[in-house]
Amino acid sequence: MKIMPNRMDRGFEMYQQEFEDKALQVLRSGWYVLGNEVKSFENEFAQYEGAKHCVGLASGLDALWIAFRVLGIGKGDEVIVQGNTYIASVMGITINGATPIFVEPDEYNNIDASKIEEKITDRTKAILVVHLYGQASNMKPVVELAKKYDLRLVEDCAQSHGACFDGKMTGTFGDIGCFSFYPSKNLGAFGDAGAIVTNDDKIAQDVRIFRNYGSEKRYHNKVVGANSRLDELQAGLLRVRLGHLEELTKEKTSLCERYLKEITNPLIHLPKIREGATTVWHQFVIHCERRDELIQYLNEREIGTIIHYPIPPHLSEAYQYLGMKEGALPITEQYAKEVLSIPLYNGMTEEEQDFVIKCLNEFGKGEGL
Ligand SMILES: *Cc1c(COP(=O)(O)O)cnc(C)c1O
């Protein structure tokens, strides 16, 4: 039995008829960009999030950089972000010419809020919180710090659709929540798509104008914007998926509860959930000191895994110009060497999960453990 780390085809098959009906409906409508599907999705997603506005965009990266752009954050400004994130979080900052200031993660793989204050300078303009792997970050101290130092607060919710902290949705704690609907995300489209949510009328309007060449009225361009529109087909398909998001999250949660209960190998450190936080289990990420050996062992048994992420942004070639060397962020770098995402997807069968658990529990057996 071959088991892949993710199976997007299963998520499609679960609601195949609904997706196909919607796709045909949009194709036959004759209207493909910025129409009723986008409007309806924006309303439905804003309502789901408990936010006043949602503006659909072309990708999660666009949501991030356009967020900082409309907040006026750019050259000479610093933005605080966790070191162990997907590189797009950092690009959202640097595309605007601003400088990322990295903070080490805590034991929940999210920003260590106790290490933020020491990084705040006169140039600090914002904190970018990433709710990595689907678990909400420690928002209480982050919100307090943003207030105390008058900083903007932006959330990268590309992995946290529906995750809460103290009962409040991620994406609604600060100025802007940025979402990706890349196909593998918990709320995935069938191509690239993204959005921002906000409670601020002006921010929503600015993003709406920016995504469409900076024009509010056709051919009347107020700013040099971008073409970052969510298309009708993706919006329609997202509406179908959004209607099932709660049951999809429930299914992932019960798969992960089983992993938590049944993986008992002392060589494998299971994910922990912070008090007050919920996770929507974008990934099930274990830590293992013998990670690379474990990957090889699982490969031999035809179980695929992924590392999220093997090279931390500060050590990537793209960010050599920041001048950071190995050893600059020891915890982030250690995590890059020991994290591993094991197979997890909607539609995972009991048999598939049995096999993954069995193999994980047998790893390193016979070594006197
Ligand atoms: C996927 C992802 C993004 C980027 O989203 P795209 O839609 O692929 O541009 C940004 N941040 C995080 C944490 C992500 O996982």
Q: State whether the beta carbon of 89 lies less than 6 angstroms from ligand 1.
A: yes
Q: State whether the beta carbon of 133 lies less than 6 angstroms from ligand 1.
A: no
The CATH number of 8-242, from 3.30.70.100, 3.40.50.2300, 3.30.70.20, 3.40.640.10, is: 3.40.640.10
**pLDDT 10s digits, 189-204:** 999 999 999 999 999 9
Report CA-CA distances (Å) from 288 to 266, 293, 294.
Answer: 9, 9, 8
The predicted structure's pLDDT at residue 369: 52
DSSP 3-state assignment of 270? coil
Compute, in angstroms, the gap from residue 146 CA to the centroid of ligand 1: 23
Query: Topology of 246-362 in CATH?
Result: Aspartate Aminotransferase, domain 1 (3.90.1150)
Compute, in angstroms, the gap from residue 316 CA to the centroid of ligand 1: 17
The domain spans of the chain are 8-242, 246-362
Compute, in angstroms, the gap from residue 51 CA to the centroid of ligand 1: 20
Q: State whether the beta carbon of 65 lies less than 6 angstroms from ligand 1.
A: no
Nearest residue (by CA) to ligand 1, atom 10, is 88
Q: Give the mean pLDDT of the chain.
A: 97
Compute, in angstroms, the gap from residue 180 CA to the centroid of ligand 1: 5
The predicted structure's pLDDT at residue 141: 98
Nearest residue (by CA) to ligand 1, atom 6, is 60
Residues of the chain below pLDDT 70: 368-369
- The alpha helices in the chain, defined as continuous H runs, are 8-14, 16-29, 36-49, 60-70, 87-94, 139-148, 201-210, 232-242, 245-262, 291-300, 330-338, 350-362
Distance separating alpha carbons of residues 255 and 257, to the nearest angstrom? 6
The predicted structure's pLDDT at residue 367: 77
Distance separating alpha carbons of residues 129 and 145, to the nearest angstrom? 12
The predicted structure's pLDDT at residue 198: 98
The predicted structure's pLDDT at residue 366: 75
**pLDDT 10s digits, 343-368:** 999 999 999 999 999 999 999 987 75
Distance separating alpha carbons of residues 34 and 18, to the nearest angstrom? 21
Adjacent-strand bridge partners of 212: 227
Compute, in angstroms, the gap from residue 40 CA to the centroid of ligand 1: 23
The predicted structure's pLDDT at residue 368: 58
Nearest residue (by CA) to ligand 1, atom 14, is 158
Adjacent-strand bridge partners of 289: none
| Cα end-to-end distance, the chain, whole Å | 27
244-278 per-residue burial string, b: 16 or more CB within 10 A, e: under 16:
bbeebbebbeebbeebeeebebebbbebeebeebb
